[in-house]
Structure 1
Amino acid sequence: MTLSIQDTAFARLEAEGRLFNSVLKAPTHKAGRFGFRGDLALKFQAKLADEARPPEIACEQVIAAANAGEPQIGFLCGFLLSFESLKLVAEVLGEALSPQGKYFLFCDNIDLSKRYQVEYGGATFYVLPIDEATVYNEMLELLYLEKTELKRLDTAGKTDAVTERALAFKDSFPKISFEEGLALMGPVRNPYENRPV
């Protein structure tokens, strides 16, 4: 029997049209595991007629994995333009979050020298700065995974490698509340600034 997204905690997100720009939305090589790599829509723009508009706010460069038959997503990481969007991530994922899950959010507007743990919506989020790199590269560095060792793997294989190591992640960072994080965060950068029109 082939594993379908409908058998996993991704099913509702897929039905709501929140999983987009995917480079992986398929079973991985580990039996019973379904992987997703792409973007997660957090807030949709108002739709006019049937035009497809990009979401107003998204969690980008997401790498996530869920097991068949389990109501929750065990691992997820992604990029947020603003720390404030952590609240949206928790609200959108809702019951798909697990107190035992490993969730990593790389935020563009937190101090580059800081890392935090924030409890929100019944789950713990590891909040980290993004240092000019991609979420994938940041995760490899955080989890001590060698890029060269993963080079030969396909996207599903790389997702498995990151997931396995992330699920075993035991480090802890200073704990702050969501409100404290809001007070600490910097201004939100406009990603479209200085781009040729």
Structure 2
Amino acid sequence: MTATLALPEIDDTALQRLESEGRLLNPLHKALTSKPGRVGFRGELALRFAPKLADEARPPELMCPQAMAIANVGEKDIPFFAGYLLSFEHLKDVAEVLGDGLSATGKYFLFCNNIDLSKKYKVPYGDATFYVLPIDESTVYNELLELLYLEKNDLKKKDTAGKLDAVANAALKFSANFESISYEQGLALMGPVRNPNENRPV
């Protein structure tokens, strides 16, 4: 069953603006987690909206799928965020959408389809630093488990909130000496953008 956030707690977290702007979409979880005072989200983050035509609601032009985030009641920062990007260039969109929810101490992970599979980067953007990693056929969740040395079997019995807590708790302790590059360097290094619809049956 999909958790929904009919909770006053989100109004006092850094996720409130994203929720009010209609950016927290298709949630597997959007509610309090098992940690007191923590709200969690797992779903898709809308990055860019299509122009509205009359009263027609159109799907977003750009999404960050497989997004995961936590926010604590009474705090203005998002301490942990992760998501999938088809192209590295959309790091800028993520940073601008999360905006003042980003902090210098937050742990932010972006798995990009068009960076070298052998490379991992740290990319400063504004006050925040993003860990940028390659992804091919896997999922953000599975890649995070591997990166954070979490055993999938240990999490199997947990519900979605419990899994999110476990990943977030490990992510908050994460540090790595990945190569540091600027956003502009990343744009120069990134590969071609894959067509997400290729090889799909019609």
Q: Does the pair score TM above 0.5? A: yes
Which residue of the partner structure matches residue 34 of structure 2? 29
| Aligned residues of 1:5 and 1:11 also touching (Cα < 8 A) | yes
Unmatched runs of 5 consecutive residues or more in structure 1? none
1:153-164 equivalences under 5 Å are 153-164=158-169
| Aligned residues of 1:94 and 1:121 also touching (Cα < 8 A) | no
2: CA distance, partners of 1:50 / 1:148: 47
State yes or no: 1:74 paired with 2:88: no
Which residue of the partner structure matches residue 177 of structure 2? 172
CA deviations over 1:3-36 (Å, ceiling 9, x no partner):
6211210000001111101110000000111000
Q: Which amino acid aligns with 2:42?
A: R
1:1-197 equivalences under 5 Å are 4-197=9-202
State TM-score, norm by structure 2: 0.94
Q: Which amino acid aligns with 1:58?
A: M
CA deviations over 1:151-181 (Å, ceiling 9, x no partner):
0000000000000000000212000000000
Q: Secondary structure at the match of 1:196?
A: coil
Q: Secondary structure at the match of 1:36?
A: strand
Percent of matched pairs sharing the same residue: 68
1: CA distance, partners of 2:8 / 2:178: 36
Q: Following TM superposition, by how much is the alpha carbon of 1:193 offset from its aligned partner in structure 2, in angstroms?
A: 2.2
Q: Following TM superposition, by how much is the alpha carbon of 1:51 offset from its aligned partner in structure 2, in angstroms?
A: 2.4
| Aligned residues of 1:91 and 1:121 also touching (Cα < 8 A) | no
Tell me which moved more, 179-188 or 44-53.
44-53
Q: Secondary structure at the match of 1:145?
A: coil
CA deviations over 1:86-130 (Å, ceiling 9, x no partner):
001111111000100000000000000000000002100000001
Q: Following TM superposition, by how much is the alpha carbon of 1:48 offset from its aligned partner in structure 2, in angstroms?
A: 1.5
1: CA distance, partners of 2:163 / 2:56: 34
2: CA distance, partners of 1:6 / 1:172: 36
Q: Over the residues paired in the alignment, what is the CA RMSD in angstroms? A: 1.0
Runs in 1 of length 4+ with deviation above 4 angstroms?
A: none
Cα separation, partners in 2 of 1:166 and 1:3, compared to 1, 3 Å: farther
| Aligned residues of 1:23 and 1:37 also touching (Cα < 8 A) | yes
Tell me which moved more, 133-142 or 52-61.
52-61
1: CA distance, partners of 2:8 / 2:55: 31
Q: Following TM superposition, by how much is the alpha carbon of 1:53 offset from its aligned partner in structure 2, in angstroms?
A: 2.0
